[in-house]
Amino acid sequence: MSESNPGQRRQHGAPVFILDEDSEQTAGRDAQQTNIEAGKAIAEAVRTTLGPQGMDKMLVSDSGDVVITNDGAAILAEMDIEHPAAQMLADVADEQEAALGDGTTTAAVLTGELLSAAEDFIDDDIHPRTIVEGYWAAERIAAGAVDDYVVDADAFDGEPLQTVVESALTGKGTGSVSDAVQQVADDGEVAGDAVAVEAHTGKSASATEVVDGIIAEAEPVRDGMPDRLDDAAVAVVDDALEQRDPEIDAEYTISSDDQLSAAVTAEEETLVGYAETLADAGVDAAFVTDDIADRTADALASAGILAFEDIDSDDAAAVADVAGASQVPGPDEIAADDLGTVGTVAIEAVDDDTAVRVEDGAGEQRATVMVRGSTEHALNEIERAVNDGIDVAVATHDHGEVVPGGGLVELGIAERLRTEAASVEGRRQLAVEAAAEAFDAVPRTLARNAGRDPIDTLVQLRADNQEGRAGLVVDEDAEVADPADRGVLDPAAVKRESIRSPVEVATMILRIDDVITAD
């Protein structure tokens, strides 16, 4: 084999392994064959979930837990995948999900198609390296084609993100979910980590709402405390409000009643003093990250201060952000300008727990989508949909570019690949043509999943694209129309990634010609 074989080069200088006699080795074509089959199997598993009318999958774990979903990334994450090549595909899907939150099913379907075409080439004795090069050439052509379809998100009047978010959510969320995501998007700065998603059963999905702030699980330390404050001054104390432990080497011997009452009075003064300090600073609500002594809690209640103890540090940081407060290291350090203000602090029941809602703060913009669902299964699926929607809103917001959905871009890519294949030298040309077929699988699969004949639809789409722009628009029915006109839009960043990552995985799998399994 020549020096330029990347697989060979990588081995250069590697330690020599003496294989354990239990290890198994699958080499050459056999290794390629099994890897390709494994990758294809994974793609097959998610194919029927693509698009707004994709079917659901029921996943049952060893322990009998059931997940019902039509989210490709969730399926790949939940599947117990053993084959290493299949795992590579799942990992890349996972990466894409983490980076962009969408487009994973499309990527998996394309990977399956690329692998399956590669299988035929290998049977015809075309070297995997030729296929790899051809696929990367196709990737460059495809990426260029995407650019031609990019529309600025702002070009869509009114609410630019709405249509994109709705395309991402069709078939998954309910109206209230897309409203919720939309509201987050409309609130200006959509930064991924400024949006939290909380999911709780106990109410139906239509009760899903957006809170302009945060919701944290917390209970007031005393029943008598106010359960709602408007225009409240908020303090965040990163300490305990308790008597300090005496120095370790100091020993107090209390020998008389007088001494005892003096000690008690001193402690009392400290504990009540904490509450007085907060009251003097003008605090209406105190979020304390550690314990609050009983005596302090009583005094806070008498002063009409709403106080919470043992607030976890993330929640404390979030409250401080929203309110525009500084976290003070102890009650003695508190100054008026450490306080923040919020429009509302309200105690509410969430399912079986008590939570505090901190809304309309003077600090940073944050939003919480409070996802509700009547059952755990429904809830999980809605939560995934909301997360997808938010990711898509963020991707659109960050990059601004969108492209028509409904398979239109993939059709355009396929056409471009067929035209440009001729200019690609040698046998790699065949791989470019095969990639064109692979992209056709997206509109074909969307059509099949929407109950249309995939071949007839593809033929009609191609014909219609000679005159204008046509994709599949799934509304009540599935029809051929311009997806952009009908509000079916995908973020361009997601589209680009769902082109790049299949080529990456497929070529990664094709480069392997030796699988050594240790037992």
Where do contacts with ligand ADP occur on this chain (CB under 6 A)?
A: 49-52, 54, 72, 102-106, 167, 170, 405-407, 446, 472-474, 488, 490
CB closer to ligand ADP, 167 vs 176: 167
CA distances from 324 to 255, 363, 365 (A): 50, 4, 10
Give the nearest distance from C-beta 499 to ligand ADP in angstroms. Answer: 12
Q: How many Cα atoms are found within 13 Å in the side-chain-facing hemisphere of 218? A: 31
Residue type, 65: D
CB closer to Mg ion, 75 vs 328: 75
Question: DSSP 3-state assignment of 185?
Answer: helix
Selected from 97, 102, 315, 391, the binder of Mg ion by CB under 5 A is 102
Who contacts 22 (Cβ-Cβ below 8 Å, separation ≥6)? 518, 519
**506 vs 35: CA distance, rounded Å:** 10
CA distances from 127 to 39, 327, 467, 510 (A): 19, 63, 39, 10
Give the nearest distance from C-beta 479 to ligand ADP in angstroms. Answer: 9
Give the nearest distance from C-beta 381 to ligand ADP in angstroms. Answer: 13
CB closer to ligand ADP, 171 vs 213: 171
**162 vs 105: CA distance, rounded Å:** 22
Question: DSSP 3-state assignment of 346?
Answer: strand
CB closer to ligand ADP, 101 vs 363: 101
Do 495 and 96 touch, CB atoms closer than 8 A?
no
- Which residues inside 167-226 make contact with Mg ion, applying CB under 5 A? none
CB closer to ligand ADP, 316 vs 390: 390
Give the nearest distance from C-beta 77 to Mg ion in angstroms. Answer: 15
**317 vs 301: CA distance, rounded Å:** 24
Tokens at residue 70, please?
């039509």
Q: From Mg ion, ligand ADP, none, which one binds at residue 117 (CB under 5 to 8 Å depending on kind)? A: none
Give the nearest distance from C-beta 393 to Mg ion in angstroms. Answer: 13
Q: From ligand ADP, Mg ion, none, which one binds at residue 167 (CB under 5 to 8 Å depending on kind)? A: ligand ADP
Give the nearest distance from C-beta 393 to ligand ADP in angstroms. Answer: 14
Q: For 240-286, give the DSSP string.
A: -BSPPPPPTT------SHHHHHHHHHHHHHHHHHHHHHHHHHT-SEE
Measured from each CB, the residue nearest to ligand ADP is: 405
Q: From ligand ADP, Mg ion, none, which one binds at residue 443 (CB under 5 to 8 Å depending on kind)? A: none
Q: How many Cα atoms are found within 13 Å in the side-chain-facing hemisphere of 505? A: 36
Tokens at residue 132, please?
């790899």
Give the nearest distance from C-beta 473 to ligand ADP in angstroms. Answer: 5
- Which residue is listed with tokens 């990163």? 238
Question: DSSP 3-state assignment of 361?
Answer: strand
- Which residue is listed with tokens 């979030």? 318
Which helix (H) or strand (E) segment holds residue 506: the answer is helix 492-511
Give the catalytic positions in this structure. Answer: 71, 104-105, 388
Q: From Mg ion, ligand ADP, none, which one binds at residue 51 (CB under 5 to 8 Å depending on kind)? A: ligand ADP
CB closer to Mg ion, 131 vs 180: 180
Q: From ligand ADP, Mg ion, none, which one binds at residue 373 (CB under 5 to 8 Å depending on kind)? A: none
CB closer to ligand ADP, 370 vs 392: 392
Do 293 and 271 touch, CB atoms closer than 8 A?
yes
Residues in the site for Mg ion, rule: CB under 5 A?
102
